[in-house]
Structure 1
Amino acid sequence: MNRKITTTRHIPTNEGVNDLRFFTETIEVGRISPLAFLEAGNTYYKDQHFYWQNANQTLTLVGIGHAAVLTSEGNKDRFLDISTQWNELRAALIKEKRDRAPVLFGGFSFDPKSVKDSEWDAFPSAYFFVPSFQLTSEGGQTYISINLINTSGDATEEFEQLREERDRLIHIAQVNEFEPSVKPTVDSLVEIAKPQYVEAVENVTTQIKNGDADKVVIARSVKMNFKEEVSSVAALHHISNEQQESYHFGLQKDGQLFFGATPERLIEISNGRAYSACVAGSIERGKTAVEDRELGTELLTDIKNLAEHDYVVKMISEVFNDYCTHVTMPSEPKLMKIRDIQHLFTPIEGNIEQQTDIFSLVAALHPTPALGGVPTNKSMEIIREQEQMDRGYYAAPIGWTDTEGNGEFAVAIRSALLDGDQAYLYAGGGIVADSQAEKEYEETWVKFRPVLRALGGKLNG
């Protein structure tokens, strides 16, 4: 089959719900590279795909094509809006026991009240989709599912077309060996509004000293220009290959790819058990094992970083105590070491109530003090006033849920928005009373490094 199968359905809430039918079918396939499958769909579904791999590399998801698109332009109710639309689809599911649960993938913007014209104009407050073709790689086995959503009742012909297209994609992925391109050639690296960032850090530090807030996260961006258009699949290959301890994600929309390798889980639900991670406070990696150990010890005893971490622990533990029972959490943080940086890290888990879905917890947790500040409302006001940029989906929840209620969302840091022959990279840090603008500026370069390197850039040192 040499044509794109178009089955996209935008789902309006409470319209035609009784006519909805959600069909799915799963087959098991031999070993197949998830990125090769993504590449196979790149010709006809270039703007309709996602990629996800969890931090311990036990689950990889790839979605190609749109079976349904769920969006929201709301502010306060956007999490409930997506949850409601998803529940309507879940209720219409027709599934055999052997079939894999269909997945909904997407993300939310960091701040729906941001109204600045920016590179993020094509992304709504919330953007999710059910893929037409879903690859799941788990436990050494790989499955390909077809998802079809319609209102006509008889889906026989459509479904047969999807089967033919599925087989075409599998054949391409298995026969045409995926060879990732070399890293792109960087034409220039442009710092965006550095003086304004430094001034913002100084202003926020003064506000904190005056008692306006306890902590505020201030971010900035840089722009990379390339000599040629950069392949989305190649960018995902390089970032996942180089940052193996992280969550890897990619969300494609209208010619743009939001992607990254984040160390920070926001929330996971698995069989009624919820898991999160308090990640805040950071220091660079050492050039030797001895220096690395010394830096780690310094981080574990640093008053500023421990205070930042405690804000996050307090907030996330309060959410878990509100939504979960049998909550467990260690009394002291440990180190999370990834390639370019080490963080303070405290895991937390608990049992969720049956009626609680993952979107309720995402809404309660976002933004954590690690990405917004303390107190939340005041820090968000200061960010809007001082940061002078639109974060878009940077530092916001991105992830998936399935029709059985399982799912996982990460915090989209160490990320970039790739747009043809250019990319915008984002990084920030927590500002407290004794923050120094130059040190905060230098720390952002450490956080830019993973994506910068994956896209062919280099930093001195």
Structure 2
Amino acid sequence: MGHKMTDVRQMQKVMISPSTRFFTETVEVGRISPLSFFEAGASQYKDSRFYWQNADKTLTIVGIGQAYTLATGRTGGRYKDISEKWKQLCSILIKEEKDIAPVLFGGFSFDEENRKESEWDEFPSGYFVVPSFQLKIEEGKTLISINMITDHTEATLDFERLRDERDKLIHIAQVEEFDFANHNKVIATTERGKEQYLKAVENATESIQQGNADKVVIARALELQFEQEVNSVKALHAITNEQQESYHFGLQKGESLFFGATPERLIEIKNGKAYSACVAGSIRRGKSAQEDRELGEALLGDRKNREEHQHVVSMISNIFNKYCTEVLIPKTPKLMKIRDIQHLYTSVEGALGEENDIFSFVEALHPTPALGGVPTDVALEIIRHEEEMDRGYYAAPIGWTDAAGNGEFAVAIRSGLLNSDRAYLYAGGGIVADSVPELEYDETWVKFRPVLRALGGKLNG
């Protein structure tokens, strides 16, 4: 497929020098399947791709290659670190009016202070990519951008090579026929630390009963082994078909793909307005429309779930009142119904304050009570002590921002980490004073279901 542009990619860890320049160019093309574009990059850029589609399917972004990477291993100030580096890059951006804003895509680990040796070892505390080739589908238009960040004097020649590469990628995506069918065969399913999980729920419940916390989210993991290596784009195709109403994401780093279909937005910033969502409290879907309605009504009237939901509403509304003006929050939650589960849902929006960017909100909002607990600091300490695993990027912020200040982050639940012929799936639930370990265990199976089914696995619970 021609040049890999190694000269551009090799400078990605170099600090920005006074001679560094950031070029971008956008062309509009005919209709392209975003997953076909993702797969078109497999030959030369298999280890560095990303995929994003928002929940209402009004925006899809695909990134191929690395014009630049921003990574941080800091255990303090990681959000500010990424934010400042991105602002620095944006300050040297050279673009025409017709060119769209370049995108930065990536995520953070759930807990920067709780990194254990695990399948997450190659993922730092924060990891973001400016792609060399960026596809964006929005408002009926398919736009493809080249991004190049370089201090080379021969930038014009480098950019011409990237144009050639872009044209090849477009041609492959439009012309080749890709087989996205999933034929994975699971040969082993392992519940990692099941007894440890049940004990952790029991201990967390006791701690809550003693007044140490109001709520703690305890998670567990499954490990799947397949007959052969699982193709990244087939996993993405399967999960997007499984969970139509969710945010779909995939972040490829080296041999690993972190992917999922999450119902939960953390923060969106669009044209000076900030939007978030409170999603907490859940119940299964019914086998009939009547049973589904009865279950939904029961959820709306359930004290435990309403309290769990209100913890999230209170926390997010406090942050919006601090960072925004004209904050709007409905007084009562609605139901969010997705394929396998119903959630309590409350929307939040406000006008963005001048001094805040999307990373300010990500830092302030993560972890929400829906993924950490209440109070946050105490809940995190209990999680660190009881879970005995590294959540990695599970239940953590993943998403994008652009050079215009817009962006969106979701909470990476209903997710898994795929590595060659193995996959690691994660699920958890909110533990309160009257939680029953066996019932919490059963609920995690409902939350495992989307990714498990997408990968061809079967429920054991």
Q: TM-score, normalised by structure 1?
A: 0.98
SS at match of 2:43: coil
Question: What residue in structure 2 maps to residue 381 of structure 1?
Answer: 381
* 1:208-287 equivalent positions in 2, closer than 5 A: 208-287=208-287
SS of the residue 1:75 aligns to: coil
1:23 alignment partner in structure 2: 23
Residue 414 of structure 1 aligns with which residue? Answer: 414
Match of 2:173 in 1: 173
Tell me how large the CA RMSD over aligned residues is: 1.0
Deviation string 1:278-313 (CA, Å, 9 cap, x unpaired) is 000000000100010010001000011001000000
Partner of residue 141, structure 2: 141
- 1:205 to 2:205 alignment: yes
Distance 1:28 1:185 in 2: 40
Give the length in aligned residue pairs: 459
The 10-residue stretch of structure 1 (312-321 or 180-189) with the greater mean CA deviation from structure 2: 180-189
Match of 2:357 in 1: 357
Distance 1:218 1:460, change over 3 A: closer
Q: Which residue of 1 aligns with 2:33?
A: 33
Alignment partner of 1:10 is 2:12: yes
- How far apart are 1:114 and its partner, in Å? 1.2
User: 1:17 & 1:266 partners in 2: Cα distance?
Assistant: 34
Which residue of structure 2 aligns with residue 306 of structure 1? 306
Aligned residue for 1:428, secondary structure, equals strand
Partner SS for 2:75: coil
| SS of alignment partner, residue 189 of structure 1 | strand
Q: Is the 8 A contact 2:115 2:392 kept in 1?
A: no
Match of 2:45, SS? coil
Task: Kindly indicate whether residue 337 of structure 2 is the aligned counterpart of residue 342 of structure 1.
Answer: no
How far 1:254 sits from its partner (Å)? Answer: 1.6
Q: Deviations over 1:33-64 (max 9, x none)?
A: 00000111001101100000000001000000
Residue 42 of structure 2: aligned partner: 42
How far apart, CA to CA, are the structure 2 residues paired with 1:127 and 1:369?
A: 24
Structure 2 unpaired stretches of 5+: none
Contact 2:182 2:238 in 1 (8 A): no
Q: CA deviation at 1:188?
A: 1.3
CA shift for structure 1 position 11 = 4.7
Deviation at 1:116, TM superposition (A): 1.2
Relative to 1, partners in 2 of residues 1:339 and 1:16: Cα closer, same or farther, differing over 3 Å?
Answer: closer
Superposition deviation, residue 140 in structure 1: 1.3
> In structure 2, how many angstroms separate the alpha carbons of the residues matched to 1:185 and 1:364?
41
Q: Equivalent residue of 1:19, what SS?
A: coil
Task: List, as ranges, runs of 4+ consecutive aligned residues in structure 1 with deviation greater than 3 Å.
Answer: none
Deviation at 1:17, TM superposition (A): 3.7
Q: Which amino acid aligns with 2:71?
A: T
8 Å contact kept, 2:189–2:222: yes
2:319 counterpart letter in structure 1: V
CA contact (8 A) 1:106 1:251 kept: yes
Measure the CA separation in 2 of the matches of 1:459 and 1:192. 15
Contact 1:183–1:454, Cα closer than 8 Å, also in 2: no
Q: 1:139 offset after TM fit, Å? A: 1.1
Percent sequence identity is 65
How far apart are 1:75 and its partner, in Å?
A: 1.7
- Give the structure-2-normalised TM-score: 0.98
Cα deviation digits, residues 179-223 of structure 1 (max 9, x gap): 203231111111001000000000000000001111000000001
Q: Secondary structure at the match of 1:443?
A: helix
Deviates more, 1:446-455 or 1:15-24: 15-24
SS in structure 2 of the partner of residue 317 of structure 1: helix
Cα distance in 2, alignment partners of residues 362 and 124 from structure 1: 17
